[in-house]
Amino acid sequence: MAKRDSGLRFQPSGGTRTTQVPTGKKQRLKIERLANDGRGIGFVEGRTWFVAGSLAGEEVEARVLGAHGKVVEARTERVFQASPLRRPAPCKHFGRCGGCSVQQMPHDEQLALKQRMLAEQLSRVASVEPEEWAAPLTGDEFAYRRRARIAVRWDVRSKQLDVGFRAASSQDIIAIEECPVLVQALQPIMTALPAMLRSLGKPQALGHVELFSGSANALLLRHTAPLAENDLATLKAFCDAHGAQLWLHGEGEPQPVDPSAALGYRLEPWNLALAYRPGDFVQVNAQVNTAMISQALDWLEPRADERVLDLFCGLGNFALPLALKSREVVAVEGVETMVQRATSNAASNGLHNVKFYQADLSQPLDKAAWVAEGFRAVLLDPPRDGAFEVVRNLKALGAERLLYVSCNPATLARDTVELIRQGYRLKRAGILDMFPQTAHVEAMALFEASK
């Protein structure tokens, strides 16, 4: 029997479906203000546009990168009316490469943006302002990055190897001849790298490349299949010509081709040398890292008779300088291999008053044996997720002073709420300009127990 047509037609809840703005569409609009990530905000026909590469007060032509609901993400294609603050982007890849998103701003405006982001999060989430704002901690505006990850992908259709950095808001790879934020020691390697990789006999087996500069320069190649002898010889010759170590990462951990090769960096003010291996976390900005450690010691004021706790300690970046000032340092990290390397770093520097432990820092620490004696001072440097479970128990440790180094103002503000609830006050805070030319905000905050 034929099915009867009831004549009913169903619509999505809420009425007529809104027509989406197509990717690639160009739109002229006025930028009203800046978002916290440095993108300009404009409004057209009830939609909010987030436009990369624009400044407040400008009139621009924006190209749509994507849209969802009433939000449109776009990038600046042309500037019809420029802000007096706009400067020519120092990098010719600006606007296409996804790495440095705020080059159109003078450096002092970048710092002001980051300061506003931190202050806004603390005010909106924690309803607090520090008793004292510290001046921004800064270093060189360019040539600061001592580590870089370079994308490598074999394009099956064009049968060619793409080498460069990821594009903004896309998986495309932008070919890069030079990078103004890369340290000078790595620039020649960066420039010559694409041609060398394309000369290899089996480029389909290449994953990505990482460059490092510290006590030595190094090139790490990730590969998904064994390398041919000719390709390995080409890689060795390239690294020899550029005075760089060659590390390979197939199955298992990265390994140096020369077993005697070692990487590391120095903390000159404290005469310390820290070893690391590709894959370990190290701060990419050596200059600001040294200044950050110095400021942390100044703010936390560790004393010769005190026991200090360092959480998320990594390779010992803070723990070793702290050990020079304190009776004892207990340093805790979630990754066992990092604990082992940090322990070796302490031994090689002749420091015997610092002990490293592995623990899951997303869980409460009250049952750990090393907690029992308590701590007068605590330093923590968590990842972007913050340290909520850790800070919930800090008052019980007897900590009078707490230094929080943050790479995410949102989770710092969230954790600040909990610290204030426990009776701490926000004594001092300020930004760390670890990544100039980007909107990424790092911050330092000092909390003290209320008397």
CA angle 76, 82, 83 (to 5 degrees): 110
The rounded distance, in Å, linking the Cα atoms of 315 and 333 is 9
Our measurement of the distance from residue 299's CA atom to the centroid of its chain's CA atoms, rounded to an integer in Å, reads: 23
Question: Could you count the other beta carbons within 10 Å of the beta carbon of residue 44?
Answer: 14
CA distance 369 to 283: 30
For residues 95 and 168, the answer to whether their CB atoms sit within 8 Å is yes
Dist CA 210 CA 250 (whole Å): 14
| C-alpha torsion sign, points 317, 322, 327, 332 | negative
User: Which residue type is seen at 144?
Assistant: Y
Cα(first)–Cα(last) distance of the chain, in Å?
A: 85
3-state helix, strand, coil in the chain (%, to 5): 25, 30, 45
Please give the Cα distance from 86 to 184 (Å, whole number).
26
Known catalytic residue at 407: yes
Q: Annotated active-site positions, please?
A: 407
